[in-house]
Every structure is written in C-alpha cells, then in structure tokens.
A and B are shown apart, each in its own frame.
Chain A
C-alpha cells in the first residue's frame, strides 16, 4: 500500500474514532451537565420567584396587620382620649362644684360672721345705748326727774284695775319723799295697804313697781334696759329683712 493511501485511510478512521470518542466522552456528558445546570437554574429561579411571592404575601399580611393595628391603636387612643376628656371634664366639674360649694360655704360663713358681728355690734351698741341712757338719766337726774318718773308710773298704775294688783312692791334707789309716797299710794288705791316700800341699789332715779298684774319699771336702769331691748329688736328685724344672697354678692 502506498503511504498516501494509508495515510488517507488512517486519517479518516482516526478522525471518525476521534469524533466518536469525543462525542461520547466529552460532548454528551457536558451537554447533560449543561442541561442539568439549566434545570437547576430554572428550578432555582422558580424557587426564588416562589419565595419572592411568598415574601410579598407575608409583607402584605404584615402591612395589613400593621394597618389594622394602627387603626385599632387610633381607635383606642381616641376612646382613651375621650375617656380622659370626660374624666377631665368630670374632675373639672367636681372641682368647680367644690369651688362653688367652698365659695358658698365661705359666703355663708362670711354672712354668718357678719351676722354674728352684726349681733355683737347690735349688742354692743345696745349696751352702749343703755349705758348712755342711764348716764344721761343720772346726769339730768334730780327731784324733778324723780317726781316725773313717779308720776308716769302712777299714771300707768292707774290703768291697771286696782282690785287685783296686790301684793305690790315698790323699789327705789333714792329715798322717796312724803308727797311722792302718798302720790303712789293714791295711785294704788285699795292695794296701798299691802304696799311694801324698799330701798334697792342700782336702779338710779325713779321707781320700780311690781304688782300681781305686771312690772312697771320707771327707773333709769329700766329705761336703759328698755332702750337696749328695743334697739336689738330693731336690728334683728332689719337683718331678717335683708336678702342674704345679695349681701353675699356684694362681698
């Protein structure tokens, strides 16, 4: 065989064997590996897409929950706020009521205090008035006053019915003259027999005649007491007529 033909045949066979071996040992497994790789890649891709979708879902859920919670929280906050506002209102109202009460009480107290003061003032003024009347009477006192007082007492005695006035007690601080005694006795009439004349301290000028029908006080102390009593009565009447609220508001 010529070398050229041998070479030709050998090269053809060599190449065919080479291609077959390469195809079986290299191309086929590598192609298989590429397919596997692609499949794995595809599976990974799919898995990633699935995971992404799942994550998206979870995120949406979380978002929903978050929004829900937010709404709930807002609601809760609003209700809490409402409750707190109401409580605050209540507290405010209570405080206002308490303040009103306190104020009223203090007004009441103030009015009472003013009343008490008024009473005391009245009493003091009454006492002062009584004292002044007494002193005035003592200053202007004398036999004229004595006699005029006795005259007025006698006039009053005369208004009583003379039967039932016994026993009669006649008290005086100053000694009575004879004319005065007879004048009293005249006034007493039938009861003059049982009349009892006494000397008493503290009466000043004038006499005090106590009968079964009543007391006739025509002495300086009696006048002053009468003046005091009438003054107190007048003041009480005036304070009762006044409107307390108006007085409070004025304060």
Chain B
C-alpha cells in the first residue's frame, strides 16, 4: 500500500521543472472549469433565457450576495476571488472522488498556495481601500503592544486555513484508501459520500473565511 500523505510523485520533468501529479490535476481542473465558464458565458450572452444561463446568474449572484453580506458592501474583485476559490476548491475536491485522481487540494503545497494568496490579498485589499497609513495603523490598535499578536494571528490563521483544507481532504482520501485496502470494494462508499459533503463544506468554509479576512481588512479602519 502506497500512502501518499505529504509528498507528490513527480510524473516528468519539463526541462528543469519537475511536474508533479498535483500540478497536472489542478491544471486539468482549472482548464475544465474555464471551459465550462466560457461555455456558460457564451450561453449567457446568446441565450439569456436558457436554464444554464440562469445557473450562471445564480452562481455569480450568490457570490456577490455572500461578499456583500460579509464585507458590508458589494466588491466585485473580492467576490470574483471568493467565487474562484470556491469553484476551484470544490472542483478539486469532487475530482478527488474519481478513481485514480489525486485531488489537488489534498496536497499541502496547493492549500498553502491558496492560503498565501488569501494572506497576500488581505493587505492588498486593505491598502487599496484605506490607504497604506490607515491600514498599517490598524495593527497598532487598540494598543501598540498587540501588534505582534495581530501579526501572529494573521500568520496562524493562514496556516490554519491551509492545514484545515489539506487535512480534511487528505484524511478523507486516506480513510477511503485504508478502507479499500482493509475491507475491499464498495465498502468505503458512505465514507466517500461523507468526503463529498466535507469537500464542499471545506470549500465553502475556505471561501467564507477568506472573505471574512479580506472584509475585515477592508473595513478595518471603520471599526
């Protein structure tokens, strides 16, 4: 039994760059999603009354509403980021349910990359909304002594974001693999169903938490 928990098998080398399985699966998922999105966009532009365009409307509307609810105002960039996060993570998690597919989110490198993107977009959003000085001042409030705690909390929540997603997806995958190895065919189906739920839930949580972090940075001065 080959338990892959932290390492990614390198499939081939593209020049000096090693191409891992995670990269391939995430690329495939991204391309699939982009294809679907372009198709939906074409349908939206050509047949606005088609049910698929209604699906697209609902998708975009739900993310916009989510961001408006959490941030307090509508913010297209944030909602685009949140929607992309949710769609990518959910697609990766669902793709992990297919046999032989290694989910991209089951790799700590991917989840930490996503978490770092969120981590970086927090100050970017804060600075863009409030200006550098105002944004930096909010680290020293309510007391300058709390500045290290602010920084640590930002770092730790990024770590938690990464590890939570990774742990959930990886453990679900691991449990399914163990069950297949121990009990055999068809036995892990309930666990796989739970994994499906957990995957969607984790994608939702990741999206919500990143939106909350970014929204907190946007409205940091107003507090």
| Residues of A in contact with B (beta carbons under 8 Å apart) | 1-12, 14-19, 21-23, 25-31, 33-34, 37
Contacts and interface: CB of A to CB of B under 8 A. Distances in A.
Contacts of B40: 26, 30
B16 interface: yes
A11 B48 contact: no
B20 interface: yes
Contacts of B38: 25-26
Given A18-B88, A34-B57, A37-B48, A8 B112 contact: yes
Nearest to B61: A34
A11 B117 CA distance: 10
Nearest to A37: B48
A33 B114 contact: no
B96 interface: no
Interface string B105-131: 001111011101100000000000000
A33 B110 contact: no
B94 interface: no
Contacts of B22: 7, 11
Q: State the 10 A-B residue pairs at the shortest beta-carbon distance, nearest first.
A: A19-B84, A11-B113, A26-B37, A7-B109, A23-B80, A12-B113, A8-B109, A11-B110, A18-B30, A30-B60
Interface of B: 7-8, 10, 16-20, 22-23, 26-27, 30, 33-34, 37-38, 40-41, 44-45, 48, 53, 56-57, 59-61, 63-64, 76-77, 79-81, 83-85, 87-88, 104, 107-110, 112-114, 116-117
Given A6-B20, A22-B84, A29 B26 contact: no
Contacts of A15: 30, 84-85, 88, 113-114, 117
B17 A6 contact: yes
Contacts of A27: 60, 63, 76, 79-80, 83
A33 B48 contact: yes
Contacts of B53: 33
Given A7-B22, A7-B109, A11-B113, A33 B57 contact: yes
Given A1-B18, A3-B10, A33-B48, A14 B84 contact: no
B56 A26 contact: yes
A25 B34 contact: yes
Nearest to A13: B113
A23 B119 CA distance: 19
B167 to A, nearest CB: 17
B109 A11 contact: yes
